[in-house]
């Protein structure tokens, strides 16, 4: 819902957005907001409805299979794909970046946001699996077919990302897949690494309007509760509280839905700011809030 509300507030066309819900609850909400969906119950029935308690737990591992299924299906149809998780905020249309034929990086097959994590298990690419662009060709199709055959590895590692990076390296060697990672040292595609690790450099310039990114991806977050709090104090939250965790039918039957649709009932034209932690970046001062991390100093 926040993806739709925030995008509409900036005037982005969502006509090409296709959501792959993993349950009827999400399907009905998305369609109530005017978004096209594809729900295949046989493919998605094993995906848990509840969110993961934390990154890498068993529920998280199962949910990662949904990310494999949806990309593989679209890839086999021969379309270029911009895949993203729903914790991404658009500031500029990223498709303009990927469709620019004059760009110095116009001839790669796949483009990934830099995760920022330099642990050995993410070597050699440190690619983030929550925001990437794919040019449709035989090399990229083979990559995502192989991902479909690697479900056992995803369940064993509880990480879609780790397996995808391994297969990127393999595909680069065996089929010549051209892989581009959009460096964390550039300013265009920031995410959780910048939020937590470049707090006093990138993020202070970001909230002062000195950065002009295409998107912001609230990755590197332990669980959903923290993710929502970080989005809210960064001015990246556009969904009214009365619509959170509500079914589509409950929203539409409420008095606030007088306009007859979920967008008019739930979406704010301006971001809905709330302070939560003083030591995490925020667009306004949260100095009076408690710290998230022990001994955390105020961002402001």
> From the centroid of its chain, how far is CA 126?
16
Phi, psi dihedral angles at 180 (to 5 degrees): -120, 125
Q: Is 70 exceeded by the pLDDT of residue 49?
A: no
The model's confidence at residue 261, banded by pLDDT at 50, 70 and 90, is confident
| Per-residue pLDDT, 55 | 58
Question: Cα separation of 189 and 25, whole Å?
Answer: 31
pTM for the structure as a whole? 0.92
Question: Cα separation of 49 and 45, whole Å?
Answer: 9
Average pLDDT, the chain: 92
- The whole-number average pLDDT for the span 264-289 is 97
- What kind of architecture, by CATH, is found in domain 51-222? Alpha-Beta Complex (3.90)
Class of residue 160 by CB neighbours under 10 A (exposed 0-12, middle 13-18, buried 19+)? buried
Question: Cα separation of 138 and 136, whole Å?
Answer: 7
Question: What tens digit of pLDDT does each residue of 73-111 get?
Answer: 999 999 999 999 999 999 999 999 999 999 999 999 999
Question: Cα separation of 165 and 183, whole Å?
Answer: 15
Quote the DSSP letter at residue 199: I
| Per-residue pLDDT, 42 | 85
Question: What tens digit of pLDDT does each residue of 156-191 get?
Answer: 887 889 999 999 999 999 999 999 999 999 999 999
Cβ atoms of 59 and 53 within 8 Å: the answer is yes
Question: What tens digit of pLDDT does each residue of 225-234 get?
Answer: 999 999 999 9
Q: Is 70 exceeded by the pLDDT of residue 50?
A: no
* Encoded tokens for 247: 């079914």
Q: Where are the domains of the chain?
A: 51-222
């Amino acid at each position: 819902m926040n993806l739709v509300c925030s995008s509409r507030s900036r005037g982005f066309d969502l006509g090409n957005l296709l959501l792959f819900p993993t349950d009827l609850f999400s399907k009905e909400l998305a369609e109530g907001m005017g978004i096209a969906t594809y729900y295949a119950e046989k493919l998605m029935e094993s995906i848990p409805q509840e969110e993961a308690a934390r990154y890498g737990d068993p529920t998280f591992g199962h949910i990662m299979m949904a990310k494999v299924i949806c990309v593989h299906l679209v890839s086999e149809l021969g379309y270029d794909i911009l895949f993203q998780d729903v914790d991404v905020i658009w500031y500029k249309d990223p498709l303009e970046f990927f469709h620019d034929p004059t760009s110095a990086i116009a001839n790669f097959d796949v483009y990934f946001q830099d995760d920022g994590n330099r642990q050995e298990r993410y070597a050699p690419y440190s690619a983030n699996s929550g925001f990437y662009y794919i040019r449709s060709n035989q090399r990229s199709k083979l990559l995502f077919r192989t991902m479909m055959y690697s479900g056992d590895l995803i369940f064993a590692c509880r990480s879609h990302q780790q397996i995808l990076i391994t297969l990127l390296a393999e595909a680069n060697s065996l089929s010549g897949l051209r892989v581009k990672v959009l460096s964390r040292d550039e300013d265009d595609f920031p995410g959780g690494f910048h939020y937590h690790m470049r707090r006093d450099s990138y993020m202070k310039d970001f909230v002062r309007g000195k950065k002009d990114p295409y998107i912001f991806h609230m990755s590197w977050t332990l669980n959903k509760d923290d993710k929502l709090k970080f989005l809210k104090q960064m001015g990246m939250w556009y969904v009214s509280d009365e619509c959170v965790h509500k079914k589509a039918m409950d929203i539409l039957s409420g008095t606030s839905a007088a306009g007859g649709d979920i967008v008019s009932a739930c979406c704010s034209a301006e971001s809905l700011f709330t302070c939560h932690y003083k030591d995490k970046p925020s667009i306004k001062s949260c100095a009076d809030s408690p710290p998230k991390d022990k001994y955390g100093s105020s961002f402001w």
